[in-house]
Amino acid sequence: MIIIIHICIILIHLSHYLYNGSDYFKEGFIMEEILKKFEGVDIPSVKKVAVAYSGGVDSCLCIELLKRVYHADEIVPIMVDVGQGKEEIDTAFEKANILKIEPIVIDAKSEFVKKWIPMAIMANADYMGYPVSTSMTRQLIANIVAVKGKELGCDALMEGSSGKGNDQYRMHNVFKLFAPEISILVPVRDFDLTRKEEEKLCELWGIYVTEKITGGDDKTLWCRSIASGAIDLDQELPNDLWMWTKALENTPNEPEFIDISFEKGIPISLNGEMIGLLELLTKLNKIGGLHGIGKIDIFEEGIMNLKSREIYEAPGATIILKIHKDLEQMCLTKEEILFKKLVEQKWGYLVYHGGWFHPLKDSLDSYILKSQEHISGTYKVKLYKGNIEIIKRESASSLFAPEIRSIKAGGIDQRISKDAAKVMGLMYEVLAKRSR
């Protein structure tokens, strides 16, 4: 089959050369070089393959490779809705028509919002400044694809990860947990295809590329991830890069005040209205983005221990996490706060590294859930020019006792601390003797 593809390409490009000259011939040579990458690669024999399908360049190319290179008897595209939005899903269906496939669509928004995001909130989920998100959705998608593929009798699972990125590890871990007997195909990695080469193959095979950003982006309600390498280090982030977040110069000149209530660590109301987390996040992304909140530009150390510049957009998550952390500071003891920080760090690390279903994470979840029993309260915050300012805090579980601690109040008889200070200072007396 590879030989046939080569011959067809040569004939096509020779004919175009007659009309377009040497530039087109050069293009044909480049295509030949790309196709050489398929040679010498051990291509497994597969019959029925479940594909993690999104309509992006990677997954579309996966479909064509299954037809043209792997010669699969049956292709099962599985598209998982994790809140990427109607526009992206509609585009995926347009491309499905071109590819002549019928995706199985599984709506996972409810599970993501009811199970995954709440744990991320309670864990103050962060990895090197990134509000853990894509690392969650990749594992949720992998779980669904693996289970569905196994249910439908597939002998292989396919996904479009690069060999340079993190998702190959996340997807692999989950595939092997839920469908250990099924083969895994990762063609972009296994054929060593660059992004430009992927795009060239898509062009050759009639798949139009619609990415506004090189490498695409990953949209969820919690956080939007913009592909690594899309922006150079000496390049200012363009305003059209953002989906929700306004440039500061275009934000309102008047602040906006909002009220958010939490119950056991989870936000339950916005401006006095009891609403579900799905609606609340949708509104906060819009409100926060309007005021320039939620842009994240960081250096990140990935699973392969290599640095990359990563761009994220998370207005709602930024607001929620800031308030949640403050509420914990008000309602937890010092020992709980310090220990929970260690738990949070390990939780974020595990999830980022593809360990959502790891036994240790289950244990960490247990502590985190227990820690949230008294994390309830109401906050008023001011949103203005990219800033979130806490104006008012209320909680029946607050451990702040101004009647004791405040310098404005009598509180306690300060003289009782005299002997305590002496006890605390004994160690330093001993240290002084050693240093003489």
**pLDDT (tens digit, 9 = 90+) per residue, 301-311?**
999 999 988 89
**% of the chain at pLDDT higher than 70:** 90
Contact call for residues 313 and 295 (beta carbons, < 8 A): yes
Name the E strands within 333-386: 377-384
Neighbours of 365 (CB within 10 A): 15
Digit-coded pLDDT (tens) for 154-170:
999 999 999 988 999 99
Report CA-CA distances (Å) from 332 to 271, 373, 389, 411. Answer: 25, 10, 21, 21
Digit-coded pLDDT (tens) for 20-35:
444 444 456 667 788 7
Digit-coded pLDDT (tens) for 101-113:
999 999 999 999 9
Q: Write the CATH number of the domain with boundaries 45-219.
A: 3.40.50.620
Contact call for residues 428 and 412 (beta carbons, < 8 A): no
Predicted pLDDT of residue 354 = 97
CATH H-level superfamily of 224-232+239-394: Argininosuccinate synthetase, chain A, domain 2 (3.90.1260.10)
**Euclidean distance between CA atoms 59 and 66, whole angstroms:** 11
Predicted pLDDT of residue 17 = 43
Digit-coded pLDDT (tens) for 328-344:
999 999 999 999 999 99
SS (H, E, C) 56-106: CHHHHHHHHHHHHCCCCCEEEEEEEECCCCHHHHHHHHHHHHHHCCCCEEE
For residue 398, is pLDDT > 90?
A: yes
Predicted pLDDT of residue 23 = 45
pTM comes to 0.89
In degrees, rounded to 5, the angle at the alpha carbon of residue 286 between the alpha carbons of residues 214 and 144 is 60
Predicted pLDDT of residue 42 = 87
Predicted pLDDT of residue 235 = 80
Q: How confident is the model at residue 7 (pLDDT cuts 50, 70, 90)?
A: low
For residue 229, is pLDDT > 70?
A: no
For residue 256, is pLDDT > 90?
A: yes
For residue 15, is pLDDT > 90?
A: no
State the residue for tokens 């991830």.
Answer: 225
**Euclidean distance between CA atoms 313 and 66, whole angstroms:** 34
Q: Which sequence spans correspond to the domains of the chain?
A: 1-40, 45-219, 224-232+239-394, 404-435
**Euclidean distance between CA atoms 225 and 216, whole angstroms:** 9
For residue 183, is pLDDT > 90?
A: yes
**Tokens coding 348:** 């974020």
Mean pLDDT of 183-210: 90
Mean pLDDT of 196-222: 80
Predicted pLDDT of residue 12 = 44
Handedness of CA 116, 117, 119, 120 (dihedral sign): positive
Digit-coded pLDDT (tens) for 39-60:
878 899 999 999 999 999 999 9
For residue 5, is pLDDT > 60?
A: no
